[in-house]
Structure 1
Amino acid sequence: MTNTDTTSDTKNFIIIGGGLAGVSAAEELRKQGFTGTIQLIAKEAHAPYIRPPLSKGYLNGSDGLDAVYVHPEEWYAENNIDLMTGTKAYGVNSLAHEVTISGGKPLHYDKLLLATGSSPRLLTIDGAELGGVHYLRTLDDSRALHKELAGGGRNLVLIGSGWIGMEVGATARTLGNEVTILEQVPIPLAGALGDELGTMFAELHKEHGVNLRMSVVVDKILGSHGKVSGVQLNTGEVIPGDIVLIGVGAVPNVALADDAGIMTENGIVVDQSMQTSNPDIYAAGDVANAFHPLANMRLRSEHWANALNEGPAAARGMLGQDESFEDIPYFYTDQYDLGMEYSGYGPMTRGAKIVYRGDRDKREFVAFWLKDDRVVAGMNVNVWDVNEQVQRIIREGKVMDEARLADESVPLETL
């Protein structure tokens, strides 16, 4: 890889995407001494923000904008970053090194970072356009949903039992709303955690009054006078609801990458330095399907920590540094009185054995996924200050003795 003069003021780097990956990359460029132009193109009118509070603290009203914005708005000018909010990038001409934007002439780049994120997977059924039907992806989405849930007493129907659906369900219940979750599969979160731990989350929600309807198929959303009134299943049964949230996954935003002629497959394909098939274009965050040297596979993660850490890795790659992104994927959730941190390689957990350390009945334990006697993922539930040790165990990849792994009297530091 050709080295770049990190202090050159003749270079123009463009970052498309106003999320955490984009702004963390811009911040790292300045930390590394890059003095050229940085243009950060953000489609939304807001300054860059993080997404976890949108289904948690910001949604329930306990967090304000200071907990959502990555930096105060003045930070961008102070760091000589040209933040272009409310600006949509329409195309990338990789031959001319130009980005076409709304309301302006094409912008030239020397290096380009695509941090375009992902979009909610749309549910194309009758009634999906009715008032009171929501998706949750943006700050404005969270604001709109908060307005409907904040006073309590509403009837929320969630279509989908992924992380967004389960977190919003917990938030809605704490705000005093009735909640029904509809899902095609038998157990929520089983795809991510397996049947046993998915069942734990199901029981948690049932204990808090959520009506979980599993193994059902949604046929249409019903309403009158342009306002939702319920959801009809393919059996003809109607689930009443005056608010509906659709949470059936997300799709990576690869249109600009396709326009630029770079390789895409389940996102934008990048190497361990976040470089695409075009040497002057990089990608990071939700949209990046990155080769992970430790896992020896491509991984695409839609979680906060991935955006936080891949952005700076991409920045160092753009500067020509010998970068190899090897962070272990990480995410967390807070639902009612359950807090959880998960680290590991999700694709490797398929068929893995789960070893538990702690009290599962009290929901205070650490779970380890073992594949070929090596830990490939770990999750701590209401047990804190152990995530670094969990990640170390995964990273080292040692053959583990199951009995010692499960024995709380054996310190994690010694494993």
Structure 2
Amino acid sequence: MARTVIIGGSHAAIAAASALRQYAAGMEIVIVSEEDELPYQRPPLSKEYMSGAMSIERLRLRPREWYDERRIGVRLGAAATAIDRRKKAVRLADGDTLAYDALLLATGAGARRLPAEMGGDLSNVRVMRTLSDARWLMAEMTAGMKAVVIGGGYIGLEAAAEAAKKGLEVTVIEAADRILKRVACKETAAAFRALHKAHGVEILENVHVERILERDGLAGAVRLKDGRELALDLAIIGIGIDPNAQLAQAAGLDVTDGIVVDDHCRTSDPAIFAAGDCTVLPFQGMPTRLESVQNAQDQAAIAAANIAGIPTVYKPHPWFWSDQYDVKLQIAGFNRGYDAVLARPGKREGSVSFFYFRQGWLIAVDCLNDAATYVMARKLLEADAVITRAEIADEAFDLRERVKALSIERSAAE
């Protein structure tokens, strides 16, 4: 009986195991996760879970009985330390080895930390990546405390929002000239800057951290390179993630900014596949990392099909989201290389969407409390429909009607 070993314990691992069981009823499937918890969702950690709106039961991707019913083995608290490609075996930290016929690396990514020489190893300096991080922050956050968030991306801003909602005095420090510089247009950034300001959060942009200062064994302040010092009770680091590709690199697989895979999710070793945040995949003609739940789940399902002997090409249709205060941001498409942005108000009061264009064609959209526009735009982008800047600029243009027309065209073609 063939055995597939899956290394990792999040969305990609579960999506792959689920699909594999559908494709191969008799296959032995084993998930190896270094965390002691059953695989859980990561995006809600800095959103619903920290706010108390989501319980640990809902946070888990699947209950224990799901694995038992599908005969999916789970090795928790078991770190994979090496891959022996010649023997087709994975060595674990406890000395055990697992032979495989196919191996799927779903190792995800780890949060970047400040180096120890900058005070990054102090106990009240935390990242926001794992369940233990979220639990620590939930236990420590108390109204009136001072929190400094280093990094103005989505993770940092979500953590800042939860801290502000709990009554902390929050300051966000961003080294770039504006928040969300890497991932969003200046219009989306302006909307979130105003949102945080309305909730009492101070945002410092184009400001660089020199180091975190220790006081009585804990982080007590952040010293900026301009000489200012900001007192703090806790610091949250949100400066991005790095793919967990060390295991693959040590095994001699092709690794650049992640584990390199082809459009069948196969690595440079034909018996080893990879999916999720740890991968670099071909997308729009370029090596790309897609850090999203969508990519983790969809790519893993395609990897499973190929492991099961069903040749399938992965064509990503990216989508993302962020929840901050009472604003839900939903993103369809991938805004890489955009050269123009148009704002368009939604039907609901206060809702708005920002449409991204490259050479006059729609490539992505940020929807703020504008779910209807998000649904229509996502359908059009996934269908590779051609939507022009002139159309979006026309108030009479109806996305819903274009979706209907597209559906009729498809039906006629069939």
2:127 to 131, 135, 139: 135
Tell me if 1:52 matches 2:39: no
Tell me if 1:326 matches 2:318: no
Match of 1:264 in 2: 255
Query: Aligned runs of 1:10-409 on 2, under 5 Å?
Result: 10-124=1-115, 125-149=117-141, 151-292=142-283, 295-349=284-338, 352-358=339-345, 363-409=350-396
Tell me how far 1:13 sits from its aligned partner.
Answer: 0.4
Q: For the residues of structure 1 that align with 2:108 and 2:223, how far apart are their CA atoms?
A: 32
Q: Is the 8 A contact 1:367 1:379 kept in 2?
A: yes
Q: Is the 8 A contact 1:190 1:197 kept in 2?
A: no
Q: For the residues of structure 1 that align with 2:119 and 2:71, how far apart are their CA atoms?
A: 46
Tell me how far 1:106 sits from its aligned partner.
Answer: 1.7
Structure 1 window deviating more from structure 2 (296-305 vs 104-113): it is 296-305
Tell me how far 1:382 sits from its aligned partner.
Answer: 0.8
Change (3 A) 1:400 1:72: closer
Change (3 A) 1:107 1:361: closer
Corresponding letter in the other structure for 1:381: L
Change (3 A) 1:284 1:121: same
Tell me how far 1:396 sits from its aligned partner.
Answer: 4.3
Q: For the residues of structure 1 that align with 2:383 and 2:308, how far apart are their CA atoms?
A: 29
Query: What is the count of residue pairs matched by the alignment?
Result: 401
5+ residue gaps, structure 1, are 1-9
Q: Is the 8 A contact 1:112 1:280 kept in 2?
A: yes
Corresponding letter in the other structure for 2:311: D
Q: Is the 8 A contact 2:362 2:388 kept in 1?
A: no
Q: For the residues of structure 2 that align with 1:50 and 1:65, how far apart are their CA atoms?
A: 10
5+ residue gaps, structure 2, are 403-414
Q: For the residues of structure 2 that align with 1:34 and 1:282, how far apart are their CA atoms?
A: 20
Tell me how far 1:63 sits from its aligned partner.
Answer: 1.2
Alignment TM-score, normalising by the size of structure 2: 0.93
Tell me how far 1:186 sits from its aligned partner.
Answer: 1.6
Q: Is the 8 A contact 1:252 1:266 kept in 2?
A: yes
Structure 1 window deviating more from structure 2 (244-253 vs 318-327): it is 318-327
Q: Is the 8 A contact 1:358 1:406 kept in 2?
A: no
Alignment TM-score, normalising by the size of structure 1: 0.92
Q: For the residues of structure 2 that align with 1:277 and 1:301, how far apart are their CA atoms?
A: 19
Change (3 A) 1:382 1:130: same
Q: For the residues of structure 2 that align with 1:28 and 1:399, how far apart are their CA atoms?
A: 32
Tell me how far 1:215 sits from its aligned partner.
Answer: 1.1
Percent of aligned pairs with the same residue? 33
Question: Helix, strand or coil for the counterpart of 1:213?
Answer: strand
Corresponding letter in the other structure for 2:58: A
